[in-house]
Structure 1
Amino acid sequence: MNPTDNLPTEAGTVIVGAGIVGCNLAYQLTQLGRDDVVVVDQGPMPTTGGSSTHAPGIMFQTAEEKILTKFADYSRRLYSDLEGADGRQAYNEVGGIEVARSEERMDFLERRVENGLAWGIEDPQILSPEEVSERLPLVDEDEILGGYYSPTDGQVSGVVACDALAREAMERGAQFVPHTRIEDVEFEDGAVQAVATEKGTIDCDEVVVATNIWARQLGEELDVHLPVTPVEHQYTVTEPLGELADSAVDITDHPLFENYRNVSGEKAKRLLVGPDRPILRDQDNAMYYRTHGDAYGIGSYNHEPIVPDPEGLGGNDSDGEQGSVHEFTEYHMENATHPDRPDKAPRRASDELLPVTAGKELEHKYNGMFSETPNGLPVMGPVEGYDGLWTAAGIWVTHAGGAGKALAEWMERGVPRLDDRPIDLAHADVNRFDAHEGSWDFARDIGGEEYRIVYNIMHPKWVWTDKQRDIRRTPMYHSHKELDAELWAEAGWEEPQWFESNADLLAKYGDRIPDREGWEAKYWSPIEGAEALNVRENVGLHDMTSFNKMEVVGSDAGEFVQQLCTNDMDLNVGDVRYTLMCNEGGGVRADITVTRISEDRYLLLTTGREVGNNHVAWVRERAPEGIIVNDVTSSLAAMVCTGPNARKVLSKIADVDLSDEAFPFFTSQQFYVKNVPVTALRVSYAGELGWELYTPSEYGERLWEHVLEAGEEFDIRPYGNGALDILRIEKGFRLWGEDLHTEHNPYEAGLGWAVDLDTDFIGKEAVEAAAKGDNIDHKVACLTLDDEEAVVLADRPVMDGDEPIGYVHSAEYGYTVGACVVYTYLPPEYAEPGTDVEILYEGERYDATVREEPLLD
């Protein structure tokens, strides 16, 4: 690698940070044809001194999150094609084994296999204790119950990979400038103009913040509050072990050795040596292992969270000062300090699993830093309100290759892609965060909690219980508390999942609610089913305040709304229309309900939860001059009264005629509910007769009370998100972020009816191609399980024999249908109604049949 000390005066793109993320991004951008990329870093190159320098580089590909697995799989293939400075392949494909020391962990490893099959990992398998020790002879097989084996897992040195990536990027025109600290990013009218460094200024069009543990610091200087939290974990390397004597390696002749030693000291003799046997993870004790020649490396997350203040982080210097490494805290290795593992110290756990390490000296040991985010996923994409400012933070070596590819495609072509297919990054988008998440108080606590649970067995419906709760309250919060709501946190909102006050409904509906046990019974209550059935047969009231709401205002608002939307948006005042917003690649960016409130004002209603803010940012980014886009989520309380008796309830308190003739479906009116001003839409996500009611937040609690009081004679009941998910999936209504996202175009998603190709909208060219059937290799399919008592959860593979053909996007038991309803995407020949498939779930195969949708009309 031959970086330059001469700072260029201009560039198209400046990448701040030359670690594994910055090098991957420069590699990908230059591969897409850019030759005006400049990468700057405060440290030397390729050993910048960040996390990429100290990381042991182990790559376990399989994760519960699809995008992390896809990123890792791409990274593995990319690193396998790289040639290190020594002429050898950069990636060490030695396989990876995760062992179980408990029955609960064995169940988890079975899910690992199912996740691996769902996400396309090659040959994931369960091993017996004997099969583990065949591959890892130093493991005490009496300590384990079995293992998960992924043959293509392995290890890559961050330094070797950075060097190889940077060399190829430089051959295509990129420039790398070490020993250069960033002082500021200069903007004009919200657009990037230049990067100011200690050595001078680079005029540029784009800046990418790829500084990992330093991302929060740089963000704060730019008034961008990134919840990226530095956390420490421990890594140690034993003295030479006689049992590994045949694996001893002298690495001092490696071309990068002296550079590495200048930053990392003598431990470079170990860190630069790749493993010669499978990497190992003992998640029950939050430990991981790899060999370094004739020594074993031992990594530990098995201690209380250590969260340094970002303002106190040091920098990286050529004299060996490494800002991402802190002094080893012996106490955390020798004592049990992890809140969830109070009975066994990390060193003891290690010595039990690998007896060969017992009593051996730990020659090299340090606390290395990496970054955590509120949901454990990267922080990527263009920052709202700053034209040309991008982020790429919270990304591990394991995922950096895939993340770099997806981000480069996003920057160059407008849509994230991986392996020539779109990949949805909604849950990794930098704009997903709410205002409170930018505070250090929140980022510190939740970053620490993400560290705590990183190796825990986490249920997909698990929510925070202690830290940073009760932040955002809808106006109906106190009513929910009085009705003993089970409150879950969603984007900071305290939202009811079900109401314990509705337990008496089980006497009426309990015989239609199958019992559950095992994994699917966690974070579930039969009350959810009773609430759903009550809506179908009677009437219910749901708080939907947290759903994202936007107002688009201006004299040309109608033209802009048409540009955003796939449907014909020539609406009269009071009209309501369901439509889609697509990105430039034709992927569904959001499904929304649009209401024309007045001549120059439109109300856009879209998904809430974690991904809703992405939609607001996307609309604002595309708004022309003269158009105002207001996020009115918090200023409008919202609720829906729905069910066969909804009209009877609301007619008692509304001062308008609610008949079909006077108030048709998909129309809106403004009126009073007693003394509360309301904008009402005759629509319902539950799929029953109903009205969504919107009012300024200060009126919300009173409106809720008015409706409940009016509904007493009909036994109206509030219902939570659990029932809403049941109701919507029975009706075939999509949930953006789960069974609908940017990886699907409208025709794949079965929503072609919401497209009018006689109008012009973003992504139309790609949508037109999809309408002709071009490149359609999967279509939405609605399945029901043949076993009417069974339930499965999302992210498990749909199988044809031993061949995965898709995965479960969303699943809920449909209590009106009388079966578990599953939404997935399958090859077109499998998506035909009547087709029989199987779903692999918790080690069992469940027969399922493709059905006509909707199941309820």
Structure 2
Amino acid sequence: MDTTDSVPTEAGTVVVGAGIVGCNLAYQLTALGRDDVVVVDQGPMPTTGGSSTHAPGIMFQTAEDKILTKFADYSRQLYSDLEGADGQQAYKEVGGIEVARTEERMDFLQRRVENATAWGIDDPQLLSPAEVVEHLPLVDEEQILGGYYSPTDGQASGVVACDALARAAMDRGATFVPHTRTEDVVVEDGSVVAVETEHGRIDCDEVVVATNIWARQLGERLGVHLPVAPVEHQYTMTEPLEELSANAADVTDHPLFEQYENVSGEKATRLLASPDRPILRDQDNAMYFRTHGDAYGIGSYNHEPVVPDPRELGGNDPDGNQASVHDFTEHHLETATHPDRPDKAPRQASDELIPATAGKDLEHRYNGMFAESPNGLPVMGPVQGYDGLWTAAAIWITHAGGAGKALAEWMVNGTPSLPDGPIDLGHADVNRFDAHEGSWDFTRDIGGEEYRIVYNIVHPKWVWEGKQRDIRRTPMYHSHVAAGGEMWAEAGWEAPQWFESNADLVEEYGERIPDREGWEATYWSPIEGAEALHVREKVGLHDMTPFNKMEVVGEGAGAFVQRLCTNDVDLDVGGVRYTLMCNEAGGVRADITVTRTGEERYLLLTTGREVGNNHVAWVREHAPEGVHVNDVTSSLAAMVCTGPEARNVLSAVTDVDLSDDAFPFFTSQQFFVRNVPVTALRVSYAGELGWEFYTPSEYGETLWEHLVEAGEEYDLRPYGNGALNALRIEKGFRLWGADLDTEQTPYEAGLGWAVDMDTDFIGKEALEGGAEDLRQKVACLTLDDEEAVVMADRPVLKDGEAIGYVHSAEYGYTVGACVAYTYLPPEYAEPGTEVEVLYEGERYAATVREEPLV
């Protein structure tokens, strides 16, 4: 690799970190025309000493998260096109097999097939034990029940890929500077202006922190608390096995061997040897395997979490030892220390699955580090408040190609995308985090928890238990607990999913609530259905405090809000309007409710959960001088009283005229509910007669109590998020981050009515003529079997071929069928079209319907 020892004095973009992420990003930026990219790293190149150097490079593409699967699929294609320093393809497409030791895991592998089909992975297959052994003859057939096979999975050496990517980037003008530690990022007036390295300053316009396990330290110097935790896992390589003797390989003549050996020592002779058969995962025992010539490599996550303090990581030592490698901990291999797997030590599990390894010496053993984030997804994108500061952390070799492509597109063209179209990164956005997530206590504990569950069977609705709970409580928290609220954590908020106090409603509505069993019954209660029906027929009260709330204030606030919004928001004071915010490519950046509360004062209400903070960051990023964007999520308690009896309940606690004439739909008023000041909006996400109330947080509990007391006469009940999701989906209300995001335009999402092309807004140019010739179109499905329920992320089929996937689904208790939202080719999105949903191995007939259903 033709690197330089001299530090350039200026650059357009400085990438800090020349591991697999930094090299991918430099490759993509230069491919998009950037020729002033400088990449600096504290270690040698391409063997920097980070996880890219020690990782075995196995690439299983299929994940429950679409982002990770799409990133991996692109990475595979990219690495397949790269030529290593030895003239060979950088990617080894040997296939990948995940085996099951339990029936629960076999069910999980069926979901693997369905996720792969939904996300577009080639030819996913379920295998019998005998078929697994045909591919992997050293596996003991008696130990397994079957396997999942992805023929295009494989292996990519991080060092080989980094070298190939960097050479291509340098050919296009990039500069790589090894042995250079970055000491600080210089910011003036909120903008990046330079990087300070140990060997000099580089003036620049933007910086990308691509240091993975070191990302937190650099961020702390700027007051950016990135919740990225280094975690350790074990990797070992056996002595030569007689059964693999035909695969012995001498890699000492590889062009990169000497550099690799200088950093990794003797284990370089194994790490550079390619696998000759499918890579393997035994997730029931949190282990993975690949061959290295005539040896087997054994990776283990099957031990208690080990989370080093990032302040103590340092760099490579003078003897060439890698900074991302710690000494091997023997007891973690020979003893069962994983909290969820207490009955079998990793070595025992490995030897049972591959008996050829039993009793063999493990010649190379180490604890390697990688980075974890609170939701297991990357931490990437522009950091709010710092013009020109970008992050790209918590990214594995498997996903680095796709992440690098998406981030480069974001930096150069304004929006993240892959070759097949835009990709929404809301759940991977660096700005998604709440303040508490930046603490080391939280980062450490949740990083450890993410490590613990990395190979577990995790339900989509699963929430943390024990560690790092009860962090954020709405003012009504104690009322919820007293009512038997089933509390789930969302962005740190403790939010009720249902209330045990409503268990009596199940008897009243039970005939309209189908029983569930299996995966869809996990983390579900029939009380959710009873609460939803009660709201439709009587009245309910819901805590909306965790929804994100912004106040936009100042001279020019009206013009600014209009610039953000697709709809005409030239409102009278007290006016309310539903609208969208789009990005520059016309993708839906958020859907919001705008209320004009004063001459130059607006209240913007948007999705909560982890993606809501992204919307706050977006609004702040675009705010002009003189306009202030205040996040009032925590300072305002929020709740909605909704249902046919809502007007009667509220009339008992206020003397305001609540009639349709005096208080029309989509208007707001400020008044008192008894002694509590409120801003009331005549809207309801449940789709019934209702009012949302906003009040300073200290009044929230009192307001809740006033409404509960007034509602006793009308059988008002609190209801949780489970019921709300069922209510909103059968009304056709979108949920941003689930069935609406930047991968859809307003017209594709069926929300063209919220676009006024006579106004000027971000993304307008991209939407010109966008109502015709749609790439995809939203479709509302109902299952033909009125008792059946499916979940999201499963393929939608037509004549046996996947034409889309389920974005969100829930049973519609009012319509008496499971409702699913998807996006289909326009010719299949017409009402009456018959399709199928593949779910848990069964095909469920479904029909496209006119929306809304209620």
Q: Decide whether the 8 Å contact of 1:44 with 1:318 is kept in 2.
A: no
Deviation at 1:420, TM superposition (A): 4.5
- Residue 146 of structure 2 is aligned to residue 137 of structure 1: no
Q: Decide whether the 8 Å contact of 1:547 with 1:609 is kept in 2.
A: yes
Q: Decide whether the 8 Å contact of 1:263 with 1:318 is kept in 2.
A: no
Deviation at 1:318, TM superposition (A): 6.4
Deviation at 1:314, TM superposition (A): 2.3
Q: Distance in 1 between matches of 2:376 and 2:184?
A: 28
Query: Pairwise mapping of residues 7-18 of structure 1 onto structure 2 (< 5 A)?
Result: 7-18=7-18
Query: Pairwise mapping of residues 220-231 of structure 1 onto structure 2 (< 5 A)?
Result: 220-231=220-231
1:847 counterpart residue number: 845
2:500 counterpart residue number: 500
Structure 1: 4+ residue segments shifted above 6 A: none
More displaced stretch, 73-82 vs 310-319: 310-319
More displaced stretch, 544-553 vs 647-656: 647-656
Q: Distance in 2 between matches of 1:492 and 1:708?
A: 26
2:392 counterpart residue number: 392
Q: Distance in 1 between matches of 2:360 and 2:222?
A: 48
Query: Pairwise mapping of residues 290-689 of structure 1 onto structure 2 (< 5 A)?
Result: 290-317=290-317, 319-689=319-689
SS at match of 1:216: helix
Match of 2:817 among 791, 813, 819: 819
SS at match of 1:80: helix
Q: Distance in 2 between matches of 1:105 and 1:804?
A: 24
Q: 1:830 to 1:462 in 2, by over 3 A?
A: same
Deviation at 1:287, TM superposition (A): 0.4
Query: Pairwise mapping of residues 691-710 of structure 1 onto structure 2 (< 5 A)?
Result: 691-710=691-710
1:86 counterpart residue number: 86
Structure 1: which amino acid aligns with 2:106?
A: M
Q: Distance in 2 between matches of 1:136 and 1:516?
A: 38
SS at match of 2:8: coil
SS at match of 2:826: coil
Match of 2:802 among 801, 804, 808: 804
Q: Distance in 2 between matches of 1:317 and 1:400?
A: 26
Structure 1: which amino acid aligns with 2:832?
A: G
Q: Decide whether the 8 Å contact of 1:179 with 1:317 is kept in 2.
A: no
2:783 counterpart residue number: 785
Structure 1: which amino acid aligns with 2:179?
A: H
Q: Distance in 2 between matches of 1:23 and 1:465?
A: 38
1:770 counterpart residue number: 770
**In the TM superposition, what whole-angstrom CA distance separates every residue of 1:756-813 from its partner, at most 9, and x where no partner exists?**
0000000001112312x24x22100000000000000000000112210000000000
Q: Distance in 2 between matches of 1:730 and 1:106?
A: 33
**In the TM superposition, what whole-angstrom CA distance separates every residue of 1:456-479 from its partner, at most 9, and x where no partner exists?**
000000000111000000000010
Deviation at 1:321, TM superposition (A): 2.4
2:6 counterpart residue number: 6
Q: 1:200 to 1:806 in 2, by over 3 A?
A: same
- Residue 216 of structure 2 is aligned to residue 216 of structure 1: yes
* Structure 2: stretches of 5+ with no match in the other structure: none
Q: Distance in 2 between matches of 1:666 and 1:582?
A: 22
**In the TM superposition, what whole-angstrom CA distance separates every residue of 1:80-110 from its partner, at most 9, and x where no partner exists?**
0000000000000000000000000000000
1:725 counterpart residue number: 725
- Residue 207 of structure 2 is aligned to residue 207 of structure 1: yes
Q: Distance in 1 between matches of 2:106 and 2:479?
A: 42
Deviation at 1:366, TM superposition (A): 0.1
Structure 1: which amino acid aligns with 2:780?
A: C
Structure 2: which amino acid aligns with 1:358?
A: A
2:265 counterpart residue number: 265
Q: Decide whether the 8 Å contact of 1:193 with 1:203 is kept in 2.
A: yes
Q: Distance in 1 between matches of 2:454 and 2:632?
A: 35
Q: Decide whether the 8 Å contact of 1:655 with 1:671 is kept in 2.
A: no
1:68 counterpart residue number: 68
Q: Decide whether the 8 Å contact of 1:44 with 1:317 is kept in 2.
A: no
1:741 counterpart residue number: 741
SS at match of 1:106: helix
Structure 2: which amino acid aligns with 1:383?
A: V
Deviation at 1:357, TM superposition (A): 0.1
SS at match of 1:390: strand
Q: Decide whether the 8 Å contact of 1:650 with 1:707 is kept in 2.
A: yes
1:244 counterpart residue number: 244
1:160 counterpart residue number: 160
SS at match of 2:267: helix
Deviation at 1:316, TM superposition (A): 2.3
- Residue 187 of structure 2 is aligned to residue 187 of structure 1: yes
**In the TM superposition, what whole-angstrom CA distance separates every residue of 1:701-741 from its partner, at most 9, and x where no partner exists?**
00000000000000100000000000000100000000000
Q: Distance in 1 between matches of 2:532 and 2:830?
A: 29
TM-score (norm: length of structure 2) = 1.00
- Residue 256 of structure 2 is aligned to residue 256 of structure 1: yes
Q: Distance in 1 between matches of 2:516 and 2:177?
A: 59
Q: Distance in 2 between matches of 1:215 and 1:547?
A: 29
Q: Distance in 2 between matches of 1:768 and 1:785?
A: 35
Structure 2: which amino acid aligns with 1:166?
A: A
Q: Distance in 2 between matches of 1:253 and 1:267?
A: 15
Deviation at 1:317, TM superposition (A): 4.9
SS at match of 2:337: coil
1:837 counterpart residue number: 835
Q: Decide whether the 8 Å contact of 1:42 with 1:317 is kept in 2.
A: no
Q: Distance in 2 between matches of 1:810 and 1:459?
A: 15
2:25 counterpart residue number: 25
Structure 2: which amino acid aligns with 1:417?
A: S
Q: Distance in 1 between matches of 2:598 and 2:107?
A: 56
Q: Distance in 2 between matches of 1:187 and 1:494?
A: 37
Deviation at 1:654, TM superposition (A): 1.4
Deviation at 1:399, TM superposition (A): 0.1
1:114 counterpart residue number: 114
Deviation at 1:555, TM superposition (A): 1.4
1:753 counterpart residue number: 753
Q: Decide whether the 8 Å contact of 1:314 with 1:322 is kept in 2.
A: no
Q: Distance in 2 between matches of 1:467 and 1:10?
A: 45
Structure 1: which amino acid aligns with 2:453?
A: I
Q: Distance in 2 between matches of 1:569 and 1:101?
A: 58
Deviation at 1:495, TM superposition (A): 0.2
Structure 1: which amino acid aligns with 2:206?
A: E
Deviation at 1:222, TM superposition (A): 1.3
Deviation at 1:655, TM superposition (A): 2.7
Q: Distance in 2 between matches of 1:420 and 1:247?
A: 38
Structure 2: which amino acid aligns with 1:716?
A: L
**In the TM superposition, what whole-angstrom CA distance separates every residue of 1:347-399 from its partner, at most 9, and x where no partner exists?**
00000000000000000000000010000000000001000000000000000
Q: Decide whether the 8 Å contact of 1:43 with 1:317 is kept in 2.
A: no
* Count of residues paired in the alignment: 854
Structure 2: which amino acid aligns with 1:782?
A: C
Q: Distance in 2 between matches of 1:420 and 1:502?
A: 47
Q: Distance in 2 between matches of 1:92 and 1:256?
A: 17
